Structure 1
């Protein structure tokens, strides 16, 4: 396909492409900025197929840098700005970039301690443009557009996503949501996140504007959704709960606002109820980094009738359930043109994720109802086997999240010789909230089946998560806690 940015600048030169707090850029203006920066990157020595790591927050320069690296045909590795030194160090030595391109606003973080070639974006901007630079004319569907790291049991995995992956992902999402040129997608998810990076790519494919917000600034996001022309926002369930908790009383989102596109896990019933009361449409979706973000989602017509579902598979996807257990829950497997082309330096692990007939094993559990709507029950590795019963932690978490005073909760299994495993609750409470273990146990007795009730309630200062909102179970088990 013709270079996406160049093509979009020709088709819609005067259409707004990027909105910042104090400035708008059309596709023509954005293209000019990107080509200038790409030329300066060329002067700095970056060439086609060079691996370049980008360490940036959600700033204009970081956004432009992503598009500029694409113009050069470089292989872009997107780094998580919130990672520890050890995790970043591992990722850098795993991907071995030609340099780490760092936005100045993110230059004070752990990345500067890593012994590797580093280049500040401001230093690139000070260079002269090159007379020899020309942007790549075409994007090859099989070319790696980005490498995004995702947590794994041992070491992080560099997931290699192609232009074809992103194109088919955009097509599936568009057919589901009915994207129009009038849509403006709020990007508050980090650029290094699959959900966030996908929005950048969709903007070029659809020709829609992106409202870029740095960090999860709750008050600013609510102001944008109330006062600006935003129509869609991607959020995780915890982010949505935080927004609702700070939404000014009596306020609602602007008349053109269409939906919260929810990723990374199912949302609790209480949050959905609050959204219904506030007339905020929520479309739950299902996907992962390996599948280039969403591969299934509710649409507007089914949102009410199929509440709790992740929707039907997109037109571009095949989803099936295998190894169905006693509860009629099984393993979710996918065949799709959005599946990553590989894992960086981990070919054997990548190949092990596929069945003989080419389906990708997601590691998630769920079921499809009679109308082919997908319901997610959780990660296979997180299920708890108590005697001859199977416990699905998300069901219990969903119930407990309705309690005022609980910020977040994670149900995990611990070994017990009598019953194999028993459920234990890790809880993060609001400031000045008081909930005793006896009260929480009593609540469980009234709202859950006996074998689902946690045997212990452990108070932690903060439940550890990735920047996309996924709970880090290994770190959770290492934390200090107090028995309620």
Structure 2
């Protein structure tokens, strides 16, 4: 058994600053008291301890308090991505079998019609309270969060993340980065993603402040790096580039007090790393996924210059191996460690998350002679757009649901701002306009998943077994083509 993180942190460092948001500040004691109150209010509204509930809202202080309240109740929290379409949210609610949804008022309209009964944040905050005996200890196997990750089949999988998973991830990270009482983690990534949620876990375990922003706004965030009021930040490549440009435009450098940017969500271009070095901005590439509760490998700061392009070595408790390497040593990246999910829920509940203890990522990489991991390619056909993972099969399934579409294939194309965006190729069985197909996608897909172009062709490239060759799709486009 392990201590309730929120109670233990409030006991150890009650008056230390825990959170800042829009000019307001909360200590760990204040966050504990607020979240305990919310837990009693949720109980009065019928939420029971250890219920599986869905939660959705923008990254605000109110969402953090609601998350901590649910953690006090030991609820399994299905973290809904508020950027998804109603049909995608409906799938997750049905698959997860959540008993209710707790939703920020401004996001209520995002819920599908005829969905579960839901409680608005405002209704919870105004509710009466009912006494509840909050557990002082948690089981290491207790599921804390559930996050849906896109599947190669087109059906997202609900990934379980336990107390043990989160603790192992946070502990491994601090053994790599080190810890000081005045460290501050600037959080401008969504809290419904593992990158954002793991920042909250680290705050509770380390006793560090979170400087929260609802959205990434480079003009607001860059000064924190220049003046050193923050010490760490998590980014994806597209946001890193905006920070670099902002510092360059200001002829400014990172403060000596700012320690590190952790860059995940896909490979960071070499040019970005060189520009960062010129700005005295330390950038560490990381490699992780939803199934590993954030980081698996991270490049240590002292290695950043002579191992540019590497994701580093596995963190202290983690192991990485390359399965069936080719002549160049490249093969599938496999991961083992206490941070790896014990499994899935819903339609994939019977699917094992590991094979003989190893998580098979589907990513391709190699380990050099010094033991450093290099990620060659993300999952076979994965499109990474602004740090968001897009599986072509999801978009293809939507297009194939249209009565006029016979076949569909999707690939990624380079984009100056987002890194990549999806492009769709369709074979038609009856006439339909591109505008109609795009309108159909808008109803069924999150905005970032909607193809930037839909191209009608006579046949899709396939192999002898008639399997779609998505990588051949890009060859149908003119050479050196990219979108702006």
Fold agreement, TM-score > 0.5: yes
Match of 1:364 in 2: 363
Quote how far apart the aligned CAs of 1:242 are. Answer: 2.0
Q: Cα distance, 1:327 vs. partner?
A: 2.7
Which residue number in structure 2 is paired with residue 242 of structure 1? 242
Counterpart residue number, 2:161: 161
Contact 2:86-2:112 at 8 Å conserved across structures? no
Matches within 5 A, 1:36-435: 36-108=37-109, 110-111=110-111, 113=113, 115-130=115-130, 132-153=131-152, 154-227=154-227, 229-247=229-247, 248-347=249-348, 350-351=351-352, 353-355=353-355, 357-382=356-381, 426-428=413-415
**Residue 360 (structure 1) shift:** 1.1
| CA distance in structure 1 between the aligned counterparts of 2:165 and 2:123, rounded to whole angstroms | 33
> What secondary structure sits across from 2:3 in the alignment?
coil
- 1:104 shift after superposition: 2.2
Alignment check: 8 A CA contact 1:85 1:114 kept: no
Superposed CA deviations along residues 39-88 of structure 1, whole A, max 9, x for unmatched, are 11111111111111001110111011100001011111100010111211
Q: What whole-Å deviation, never above 9, does each CA across 1:390-441 have from its counterpart, x for those lacking one?
A: xxx99xx9xxxxxxxxxxxx9x9xxxxxxxxxxx9724357xxxxxxxxxxx
Distance 1:107 1:425 in 2: 32
The question of whether the paired residues in 1 share the 8 Å contact of 2:165 and 2:293 is answered with yes
Q: Deviation at 1:115?
A: 2.4
| Partner Cα distance (1:124, 1:48) in 2 | 16
Q: How far does residue 125 in structure 1 lie from its aligned partner after superposition? A: 0.8
- Give the secondary structure class of the aligned counterpart of 1:381: coil
Q: How far, CA to CA, are the matches of 1:319 and 1:259 in structure 2?
A: 24
Question: Which residue is 1:419 aligned to?
Answer: none
Partners of 1:219 and 1:92 in 2: CA distance: 37
SS in 2 for 1:107: helix
Identify the structure with bigger relative contact order (alpha carbons < 8 Å, sequence gap 6+).
Answer: 2
Q: Displacement of 1:105 after TM fit?
A: 3.6
SS in 1 for 2:288: strand
How big is the shift at 1:251? 2.1
1:447 aligned residue: none
Inter-partner Cα distance in structure 1 for 2:315 and 2:181:
21
In the TM superposition, what whole-angstrom CA distance separates every residue of 1:215-249 from its partner, at most 9, and x where no partner exists? 12222221333346200000111111122223342
Q: Are residues 313 and 9 of structure 1, via their aligned partners in 2, closer, same or farther at CA, if it must alter by over 3 Å?
A: same
Shift, 1:111, TM fit: 1.7
Q: Distance in 2 between matches of 1:203 and 1:190?
A: 16
Residues 166/425 of structure 1: CA separation in 2 closer, same or farther (3 Å cut): closer
Report the CA distance shift for 1:78/1:479 in structure 2 as closer, same or farther (over 3 A).
Answer: farther
Task: Report the secondary structure of 1:382's partner residue.
Answer: coil
Give distance in 2, aligned partners of 1:158 and 1:52: 13
**Inter-partner Cα distance in structure 2 for 1:429 and 1:368:** 30
Per the TM alignment, residue 347 of structure 1 is displaced from its structure 2 partner at its CA by: 4.4
Residue 472 of structure 2 is matched in structure 1 by none
Q: Secondary structure at the match of 2:262?
A: strand
* Distance in structure 1 (CA, Å) of the matches to 2:52 and 2:373: 37
CA–CA separation in structure 1 for the residues paired with 2:298 and 2:454:
35
Q: Give the Cα–Cα distance (whole angstroms) in 1 for the partners of residues 28 and 177 of structure 2.
A: 23
SS for the counterpart of 1:301 is: helix
Q: Could you tell me how far apart the structure 1 residues matched to 2:116 and 2:327 are? A: 52
Equivalents in 1 of 2:453, 2:376: separation in Å?
22
Q: Is contact 1:150–1:157 with CA below 8 Å preserved after alignment?
A: yes
1:56–1:348: structure 2 CA closer, same or farther, 3 Å change rule?
Answer: closer
How far is the alpha carbon of 1:478 from its aligned partner? 4.6
Q: State the secondary structure of the residue aligned to 1:354.
A: coil
> Contact 2:87–2:112 (CA<8 Å) still a contact in 1?
no
Q: Which residue of 2 aligns with 1:26?
A: 27
Deviation at 1:179, TM superposition (A): 2.2
* Contact 2:329–2:367 (CA under 8 A) maintained in structure 1: no
- Aligned-pair CA distance for 1:380: 4.6
Match in the other structure for 2:406:
none
Residues 217, 114 of structure 1: alpha-carbon distance in 2 compared, 3 angstrom cutoff: farther
Secondary structure (helix, strand or coil) at the match of 1:222 reads helix
Whole-Å separation in 1 of the counterparts to 2:412 and 2:50: 47
TM-score (norm 1): 0.79
1:181 deviates by 1.7
Quick one: structure 1 residues 58 and 304, their matched pair in 2 at CA, closer, same or farther if it must change by over 3 Å?
A: same
